[in-house]
Amino acid sequence: MNLKGKKVTLHDNTLRDGMHPKRHQITLDQMLAVARGLDEAGMPLIEVTHGDGLGGASVNYGFPLHSDEEYLSAVIPAMKKTKVSALLLPGIGTVDHLRMAHELGVHTIRVATHCTEADVSEQHIGLARKLDMDTVGFLMMAHMIEPDALVAQARLMEGYGANCVYVTDSAGYMLPDDVTARVTAVRQALKPETEIGFHGHHNMAMGVANSLAAIEAGASRIDGSTNGLGAGAGNTPLEVFVAVANRMGIETGVDLYRIMDVAEDIVLPMMEHMVRIDRDALTLGYAGVYSSFLLFAKRAGAKYGLPARDILVELGRRGMVGGQEDMIEDTAITMARESSPARTLTQAKA
Amino acid sequence: MRKIKCALIGPGNIGTDLLYKLKRSTVLDPVWMVGIDPASEGLERARNMGLKTTSDGVDGLLPNVQADGIQIAFDATSAYVHAENSRRLNALGVMMIDLTPAAIGPYCVPPVNLREHVGKREMNVNMVTCGGQATIPMVAAVSRVQPVSYGEIVATVSSRSVGPGTRKNIDEFTRTTAGAIERVGGAARGKAIIVINPAEPPLIMRDTIHCITESAPRAAEIEQSVRDMIGQVQAYVPGYRLVNGPVIDMDTHRVSIFMEVAGLGDYLPRYAGNLDIMTAAAARTAEMFAQEILNGSLTLEPVPA
């Protein structure tokens, strides 16, 4: 693979996707330390919000330690060069959140929908475009549909005003060929000036390899997080990606040793548990399940006496999409009831 | 027996499903279906069911209101045109049941607050949203036992049951529903989330209701109250079903209720319980007002424009 001389914009998600393994409890000091470290390292763009985007504070997804406003107000003024992005999932956040983010100086808004439902993003992408923000459409769980179907959804987002559209592997399910097929199709279909991005999860250890496949197929924005702090087994670890990029001659503008130090000295000590490919995270990737379901399934498993892996497989079988965290406890209760000895006894009698 | 004559505005999925329900009513008589597209399938279907139709919008209906004795109109168009439709029909003394998220009139969730609307001479009532109809009875079931400081609902609907109007303005759903969780459900603070799921075969509407009670949840009373309320909703939506819960967490004061809403399958498929509960609630609301008109306790009068 020859990617020498390719210029790629890295987008660090540690302070957004990394909110999932931190149960949205990152402190303002931790946020500032990570953000300043990445600013020093030359990271062009970092995302800061609740893990489920603006307005994600809820029983369903978890209440954060601080509001989106508090996090953004702390980080944005502290940045010398790095720009800040915010995620927004229509159905959870609204244009009111978008306006708030814009007023606080957010540079990039990423409007995320399930890969088949891009038409719920018109309102939000339209407003972000009108506000002259860097406007990104983010097609989640992109492994669930074929490339041509994904193209139709990407075109909708471009039509609403997105200047960049992401192929998002929310489940960490894709293998490099899956990425190549989707990014190639979307790249060919959209206007040349529209950028293509790729967001990976490391559940099958494919984060770096998939990102390279995406670049080869025409992606120019690559997501990841430092020390891989993200949902599931985490995102593409960006310090690793930068090292690979350096060896291959891909230009990221990020200082390798500095981002290594942020990963080791700042992010690692923040971790409450090792974000790694344990059997449950691997199951996410293997069965194609939304990565932020991981800790919810572990908790529901502990509460109702079931293996988290079984719950995750069942959620995948039922075609659950991002945002359906409520269905994890529901599914666990149903599974526990159906597998209980009392029930088995009754059935045996009948 | 005399019936109250009605007009339906909007011959789409909602309007057509509502028409099936009104056809069965003992107190309502659907007479007009109003659309804007002469080639609309919905208008043709209504004609075949014996209704008068116009494709000239409300303009086409207004000259016939008096002659045909229309007293109640249902608006199943969009929030953008509802206010004007309502103003013009109210001016002729026609009461408006609003199925759009415009919400210019007071919210109505039948088992919770339909009775409160009696005798208030309201000329416009709003049916909130599908998610609101499916969840607010449960918020109210908890808040009538003890104060709820926070109510949150997650409505998951099949992709096939979400029309272009909702998709274009999904924020209307979250805002309107959140407002009604507070004003009708009785939670001090409300939040609404909607998730659209494209699975095939389509999933039946699911609704999760999370309440945080101010003091420790009184489990037995909440369970009884939830059971009673489910029975009241089932009177007009038989497919309203408790799947799991109430899950009660004493540490966090969380009460979670997991519902499923299957529709009657009148015009829309059974999985579209979200649309069925809207049309069923609208029909039930109109029937209550119709009974008031019929027994002489309510006289509709023109509202000066």
> Could you tell me if A321 lies within 8 Å of chain B, comparing CB atoms?
yes
pLDDT reported for residue B297: 82
**Would you call B301 an interface residue with chain A, using a CB distance cutoff of 8 Å?**
no
**Nearest chain B Cα to A315, which residue?**
B199
Nearest to B154 among A60, A119, A318 (CB): A60
B183-220 tens-digit pLDDT: 999 999 999 999 999 999 999 999 999 999 999 999 99
Phi first, then psi: give them for residue A116, nearest 5 degrees.
-105, 0
pLDDT of A78-99, one tens digit each? 999 999 999 999 999 999 999 9
Partners of A96 on chain B (C-beta within 8 Å) are 171
pLDDT tens across A155-214, in order?
Answer: 999 999 999 999 999 999 999 999 999 999 999 999 999 999 999 999 999 999 999 999
Looking at the complex, report in whole angstroms how far the Cα of residue A90 sits from the nearest Cα belonging to chain B.
7
pLDDT score recorded for residue A345: 45
pLDDT score at B65: 97
Is some CB atom of chain B closer than 8 A to the CB atom of A67?
A: no
Q: What is the DSSP string of B126-145?
A: E---HHHHHHHHHHHHHHTT
B216 and chain A in contact, CB less than 8 A? no
Residue B83 reports pLDDT greater than 90: yes
Q: Is residue A224 scored above 70 in pLDDT?
A: yes
Closest Cβ opposite residue A324 in set B150, B156, B198: B156
Q: What is the mean pLDDT of residues A259-288?
A: 97
Using the predicted structure, report yes or no on whether residue B146 has a pLDDT greater than 80. Answer: yes
Q: Which two tokens stand for residue A149?
A: 């179907």
- Under the banding of pLDDT at 50, 70 and 90, the label for residue A350 is very low
Say if residue B47's pLDDT is above 90: yes
Over residues B20-34, the pLDDT tens digits come to 999 999 999 999 999
Which are the catalytic amino acids of B?
Answer: 130
* Contact residues, A window 193-232, toward B, CB-based 8 Å cutoff: none
Q: How far is A213 from chain B (nearest CA, A)?
A: 28
Decide if B174 and A114 are in contact by the 8 Å CB cutoff: no
Interface membership of A91 toward B (CB under 8 Å): yes
Torsion angles phi and psi, residue A62, rounded to 5: 110, 140
Q: What is the pLDDT of residue B116?
A: 87
For residue B83, the distance in angstroms to the closest alpha carbon of chain A comes to: 21
Catalytic residue among A20, A24, A97, A114: A20
Query: Cβ–Cβ of A123/B245 closer than 8 Å?
Result: no
Q: What is the pLDDT of residue B305?
A: 64
Asked if A91 lies within 8 A of B199 by C-beta distance, the reply is no
- Confidence (pTM): 0.94
- Candidate from A96, A123, A319 with C-beta closest to B197: A319
What was the pLDDT predicted at A341?
A: 63
Query: What's the order of all strands across the beta sheet hosting B148-158?
Result: B190-197, B148-158, B205-213, B254-261, B240-249
Q: How many Å lie between the alpha carbon of A95 and the closest alpha carbon of chain B? A: 7
CB nearest to A326's CB, from B150, B196, B208: B208
| ipTM of the complex, rounded to two decimals | 0.95
CB contact burial B77-110 (16+ within 10 A = b; e otherwise):
bbbebbeebbbbbbebbbbbbbbbbbbebbbbbb
Q: Answer for the pair A61, A277: CB distance below 8 angstroms, yes or no.
A: no
- Distance from A21 to chain B by nearest Cα, in Å? 21
The answer, yes or no, to whether residue A346 has pLDDT greater than 80, is: no
Closest CA to A166 of A130, A190, A148: A190
The full length of chain B comes to 305
Residue A342 pLDDT: 58
B118 pLDDT tier (thresholds 50, 70, 90): confident
Judging by DSSP bridges, how do beta strands B148-158 and B205-213 pair with one another?
A: antiparallel
Q: Determine the distance in angstroms separating the CA of A55 from the nearest CA of chain B, rounded to an integer.
A: 10
pLDDT digits (tens, 9 = 90+) for A46-63: 999 999 999 999 999 999
Check A330 against B198: CB less than 8 A apart: no
* C-beta atoms of B256 and A91 within 8 A: no
Condensed to tens digits (0 to 9), the pLDDT of residues A303-321 reads 999 999 999 999 999 999 9
Q: What is the percent of chain B where pLDDT is above 70?
A: 100
Chain B contact for A340 (CB, 8 A cutoff): no
A277-294: pLDDT as tens digits: 999 999 999 999 999 999
Query: Measured between beta carbons, which residues in chain B are less than 8 angstroms from residue A114?
Result: 196-198
Of A58, A120, A320, the CB nearest to B170: A120
Mean per-residue pLDDT over chain B, rounded: 95
pLDDT for the residue A349? 40
A 96-135 near B (Cβ less than 8 A)? 96, 114, 116-117, 119-120, 122-123
Contact residues on chain A for B197, CB-CB shorter than 8 A: 114, 319-321, 324
